[in-house]
Structure 1
Amino acid sequence: MAVAPARSSAAGAADDQPSATRAGTADDQLILAGDAASRQLIAFDPAVTDWNGTGAIRWTWKPTTGLGFSTAEVNGFNGGSDFKVRTSGRDGAQRLVVADGAGIATVATYPEGRRVWAKLLTGNLHSAELLPDDNIALAASDGGWVRVYASSQGADASAYGEYKLAAAHATLWDPSTSRLWVIGQDPVTAEHILTALAVVGTPAAPRLREDTTKRVVLPTPWGHDVTPYSYDTGKLWVTTNGGAYLYDKATKEFSSPGAANRVFVKAMSNQPSGQIVETMADSLKNPKGPCAAINGWCTDTVDLFGPDGKRTRKNAQFYKARVLNPYYGAVDQSRRGTVWDRTRAADGTWSSTVTQIDGNAGVARVAATASPDGVVHVFTLLPGSGIWYRQRAADGTWAASAVRIDANGDLVDVAAAALPNGTVHVLGLLPKSGIWHRERSAAGVWAASATKIDANVSITDVAAAALPNGTLNVFGVVPGSGVWHRDRSAAGVWAGSATQVDTNGAVSDLAAAGLADGTLQLFCMVPTSGLWHKERNAAKTWAGATKIDTNGETSVVAAAGWPGTALQVTMVAPGSGVYSRVRAADRTWPAAQRIDAEPDVLELYAVGRPDGVIHVGKVPELS
C-alpha cells in the first residue's frame, strides 16, 4: 500500500502528500530506502535524526491487490533491489519504477502506487529505470542481461529488447545524451565495464545497441551502482566492490569523493546541499553492523558524508537508499545536430566529402525537396523555434542564412514537396492538432499563415511527395492503424478525407516520392522487420508491400524521385552509418551501399534534381 504520514515538527508543518522535497535547510530531499524486513519502500526525512518509529517517515509503499497487483506479484516484492521516482515523458505525471530480486518489476503511479505495468521475472533483478517513452529498463545480475520492456504498450505488455551483460547491476537514463548507462561485465572479454546503450526501434518494439564511444573499463571490478551527480550533468556516481567514484563523462576519468570512497557501496547519491548518501553492507564494515548476522548484503544504517552522519532504523534491512530527487526525470532532451549535404552524380558516383549547410546545432528534424528549375529547398525544424528555410540555387550556391517561415515551436515533424508550377509546400506536424500546410508561391513569397489539412491527433510522422501532374500527396503514420494518404489536386483542392494505404500499425518512419511516369512510391520502416516498399500506379491502384531491406534496426528513411531521374532510398543503420539503394532500370533493388560511416544520424533527407544529381542530407547527433 501507499501511505503518507504527516510530517513531524522537525520537518515542518503536517502534510499528507509525500512531496519529494523536504522542508528544511538547503532544500535537501527525502531519502528513499528499500526495507526487506518490513517488505516496503520507506521515504525518510533526513532532517529527523531518529529514524525509529514513524517520526521521520514521509511515505511508504508496497504492492497490494488493492493497488491492482496480483497475489503472485505481491509475493515477488521483498523490499526492492532498486527504485526511482521519475517523470513520465508522455503525460508529465510522476511514476515509481521498482525492480526486486524476488521477481517483480513494475511501473506504478506516484504517490498513489497503483499498478501501471508489472511483470514477474527471473534472473535476480537489480535495477530499474523509466525511459522517455514510458518503457522500463531493467538489469538482471544472474540473468546476464539489460532489457527494455514495452511497458508503455499496456499493463501486461511483454515485448522487450535485450543487451547481454554479465553481472548487470545498474541502469540510468541520461537525458543529456539520450543514452542508458549500464554497469556489468562483458560476457566475451570478462572486462568489468561502464557503458551506455542507445534505445532504438519503437516503443512497441524496443531494441538496444551499445554506444561503444561511451564504454570504459572500471577502475576496480564488480560494478554496483550508477546515479546522476546533482551538480554537473557531465558527471556520474559509480560504485564497485573496490570503491566509490565520481566519473567524468568527457574525460572518462574516475576520481575519489574522499571519505565517501568506500568498498562494496550498494547505492550512492547526493543532496542539493552536497551531502553524499550511501548504503554499505554491514557484513563488510569494520566493525560489522547488526545486519551482518542476517545476510551479506543488508544494513540498518544510511551513511552520510559532508557533513558526516548516520541514520539508523533498528532491525531494518536496507540494500539501497537513494536521494529521492524530484528534478531528475526521464523526460528526454531533444536530440539535435547540424545539417550536412552529400551528392550523387548522374553517373552514380557519390561524393567523398560532405558540406555543412546549416551550423545551427539545434536542428531536430529536416526535410527537403527540389523544384523543376533545379533549386533545392531545405527545411529545418528547431524545437521551441519553428521551421526554417534555406535554398541551394541552380548554380550550386547555398544561401548564407536560413529564414524562419513558421514560428510555432511546438511542431515535431516536417515534410516538403515542390510542384511543377514552381510552388513549394511544407507540412508541419503539431501534437494533439494534426498536419498543417503552408505554401510558397512561384514568386518566392510564403503564405502568412498555415492551414490545417488533417485533424487526426494520432499522427506521429508525416511525408510528402509531388507528381508531374501537379498533385501534392501527404502521408501520415497512425500507430496501431497504419499509413494514411491525402492528396491535393492540381487545382489546389484537398481531398475531404484520408485513405488508408497500409494497415501495418508498427510503421515507425516513412518516406514518399513521385516519379515522372505518374507513380507514387511509399517506403515504410518496420522495427525488427526491415524496410518495405509499395507503389501506386498511374491509375491510382496500390500494389502490395515488398520488403526491400531486411535490417530490422534501421531507424530513419528518406526517398528521392521526381523531378529527379531515378528512384533512390536512403536509410540509417544505427552504429553503422547511412546506406543508399537506387532502383535499377529493371525495377529490382540492388544491395545497399554505405555512403556515410557516421554512426549516429538522427535525420535524413533525399532529393533528386532534374539533371540526375541526388542530394542526401543528414543530421548527426551531437550529444
Structure 2
Amino acid sequence: MKTLLLAASMLMTLACKRDSVAPSASNNTQSASVHTEATPKELIICDQKNARIIMVDVANNNTVTWEWKATASYAMIRSGAQGWFSNLSEAKLVYNGSYILATASGGGVALISVSSKKAIWYDYAGGNTHSAELLPNGNVVTASTTGGYLMIFTVDSYINDNSAQTAPISFQDVHNVVWDHSRQLLYAAGKDKLKVFSYNNSCDAPALTLKKTYTMPEGDAHDLFPVYGSTTDLWLTNSGHIYKFNVTTGAFTLVKTTSAVKSVDAGPSGYANIMAQANGVGGETWRTDRILDLSGNIVYQNASIGLYKARWRVVNTFSYPTGDKFHECTHP
C-alpha cells in the first residue's frame, strides 16, 4: 500500500510540474513555461487539405492530440456558415492558451474554446481572410488580402455571424495583424508597407489610428508574428526572405533568404525555429506537407496533410497580458 501511495504522490508531483511557470531571468524576455521531458511539444497546424486545425505532439511520435473542424457538431457553426472556414489560414493561441483565434480564406473568423472545441464566437470578414488579432477589450481585428482591408468586430458570444463591425479599413494586400500589449499598438504588413496603429479601446465605436508607416526592403509581405522571448522583435516574411523587425528602432534585419514561407515561429529552449514553406503538395502551390527548421531540416512531416501555417503551442505574452482570460465588451 505504501508503494502505491508513493507512486501516486510522484505522479501528482510530476503533473504539477508540467503546469508550473518560471519567470524570465531578463526584463527583455517573456516568461516561459517550464518544460520537462514529459511535457508535450505541440504544433498548431492549419491543415487545409483536410479542412481542420490540428495539434501535433512532435515529442511523442507526432501524435495528433487535438482536432477541430467547422463541420463537426461540437463547433456549433450553422451549416450555412461552415463554408466560410474553407482553407484555414491562421490559428493563434490566445487567452493564456485556452482559446484559438482562427481565420480562413473562405472569409471566416472564429474564437474557439480548446477544451470544448466550440466556436464561442464566429463571423464573416470576407476578402480571403489571412489573419486576425485579439484586441485588449476582447474585440477582434481581421486582415483580408482581396480588396485589402482590416476590419474590427465587436465580439459577442451571444451573437454569431451578425456582429457589429467597422467599415473596412483600407490597406492594400494586408496579410497579417499583431497586437503589442506593452506598447498598446497594432502592427500589420501588406505589399512593401508595415503600418503601426493605435486602438481607441472603445466598445461602442472601435477605431484604429495610423501612427507610422515603414517601407520594407522588399514587397509581398506575408507572415508577421512575435519572436518568442523578445519584447521588441517580430518575424516578418515575404516572397523571398525572412526578417526580424524591431518595433522600437524600425530596423529590418535579414535572417534568411528563402522562398514561399507562409509562417515562421520560435519557442523556448529546446524548440526549433520553424517555418512552413510551400512546396506544392497535392498540386496546391501554397501548401506543404512538412515543417522545417530554418536550416531546412524536417521537424514534422505528414504526406496526408496540406498545411498552410504552423505555430508552436506556447503562450504569446508579447501580444497578451500574462494570465489573460476571456472577456468581451458586451458582457464584461
* TM-score normalised by L of structure 2: 0.79
Alignment check: 8 A CA contact 1:162 1:208 kept:
no
- Matched residue, 1:539: none
- Matched residue, 2:326: none
Query: 1:461-472 residue pairs with structure 2 within 5 A?
Result: none
Alignment check: 8 A CA contact 1:96 1:113 kept:
no
Q: Name the SS for the 1:126 alignment partner.
A: strand
Percent identical pairs in the alignment equals 21
Mark the runs of 5 or more structure 1 residues left unpaired by the alignment: 1-11, 186-191, 284-290, 334-478, 481-623
Q: 1:333-378 CA deviation, whole Å, 9 max, x = no partner?
A: 9xxxxxxxxxxxxxxxxxxxxxxxxxxxxxxxxxxxxxxxxxxxxx
Alignment check: 8 A CA contact 2:185 2:199 kept:
yes
- Matched residue, 1:78: 86
Tell me which of the two structures has the higher relative contact order, counting C-alpha pairs closer than 8 angstroms and 6 or more residues apart. 2
- Matched residue, 1:115: 119
What is the CA–CA distance in structure 1 between the aligned matches of 2:215 and 2:142, rounded to whole Å? 21
- Structure 1 residues 179 and 324 mapped into 2: Cα distance closer, same or farther (>3 Å)? same
What is the CA–CA distance in structure 1 between the aligned matches of 2:214 and 2:173, rounded to whole Å? 16
Larger Rg computed on CA atoms: 1
What is the CA–CA distance in structure 2 between the aligned matches of 1:93 and 1:47, rounded to whole Å? 19
Q: 1:545-603 CA deviation, whole Å, 9 max, x = no partner?
A: xxxxxxxxxxxxxxxxxxxxxxxxxxxxxxxxxxxxxxxxxxxxxxxxxxxxxxxxxxx
- Structure 1 residues 307 and 121 mapped into 2: Cα distance closer, same or farther (>3 Å)? closer
Deviation at 1:117, TM superposition (A): 1.5
Deviation at 1:147, TM superposition (A): 1.1
Alignment check: 8 A CA contact 1:175 1:331 kept:
yes
Q: Name the SS for the 2:49 alignment partner.
A: coil
AA aligned opposite 1:81? S
Q: Does residue 224 of structure 2 align to residue 216 of structure 1? A: no
- Structure 1 residues 72 and 328 mapped into 2: Cα distance closer, same or farther (>3 Å)? farther
Q: Does residue 303 of structure 2 align to residue 314 of structure 1? A: yes
Q: 1:403-448 CA deviation, whole Å, 9 max, x = no partner?
A: xxxxxxxxxxxxxxxxxxxxxxxxxxxxxxxxxxxxxxxxxxxxxx
AA aligned opposite 1:76? W
Q: 1:95-142 CA deviation, whole Å, 9 max, x = no partner?
A: 211110112111122232212211123210000111121111100000
- Matched residue, 2:66: 59
Alignment check: 8 A CA contact 2:74 2:117 kept:
no
Q: 1:217-258 CA deviation, whole Å, 9 max, x = no partner?
A: 111110001111112111110001120011122222222335
- Matched residue, 2:45: 33
Q: 1:197-230 CA deviation, whole Å, 9 max, x = no partner?
A: 1112512321111111xx2111111000111111
Q: Name the SS for the 2:175 alignment partner.
A: strand
Q: Name the SS for the 2:81 alignment partner.
A: helix
Q: Does residue 178 of structure 2 align to residue 181 of structure 1? A: no
- Matched residue, 1:436: none
What is the CA–CA distance in structure 2 between the aligned matches of 1:277 and 1:22, rounded to whole Å? 20
Q: 1:165-212 CA deviation, whole Å, 9 max, x = no partner?
A: 011100111112111110114xxxxxx111221112512321111111
Q: Does residue 49 of structure 2 align to residue 43 of structure 1? A: no
AA aligned opposite 1:314? A
What is the CA–CA distance in structure 2 between the aligned matches of 1:97 and 1:232, rounded to whole Å? 22
What is the CA–CA distance in structure 2 between the aligned matches of 1:70 and 1:297, rounded to whole Å? 28
What is the CA–CA distance in structure 2 between the aligned matches of 1:321 and 1:22, rounded to whole Å? 22
What is the CA–CA distance in structure 2 between the aligned matches of 1:104 and 1:123, rounded to whole Å? 10
Q: Name the SS for the 1:73 alignment partner.
A: helix
Q: Does residue 272 of structure 2 align to residue 275 of structure 1? A: yes
AA aligned opposite 2:106? A
- Structure 1 residues 311 and 269 mapped into 2: Cα distance closer, same or farther (>3 Å)? same
Query: 1:254-273 residue pairs with structure 2 within 5 A?
Result: 254-258=252-256, 261-273=257-269
Query: 1:85-100 residue pairs with structure 2 within 5 A?
Result: 85-87=93-95, 94-100=98-104
AA aligned opposite 2:243? Y
Alignment check: 8 A CA contact 1:41 1:79 kept:
no
What is the CA–CA distance in structure 1 between the aligned matches of 2:318 and 2:253, rounded to whole Å? 26
- Matched residue, 1:602: none
- Matched residue, 2:137: 133
Aligned length: 292
Deviation at 1:23, TM superposition (A): 5.8
Q: Name the SS for the 1:76 alignment partner.
A: helix
Deviation at 1:310, TM superposition (A): 3.2
Q: Which of 223, 226, 230 is the equivalent residue of 1:225? A: 223
* TM-score normalised by L of structure 1: 0.44
AA aligned opposite 1:171? V
- Matched residue, 1:196: 196
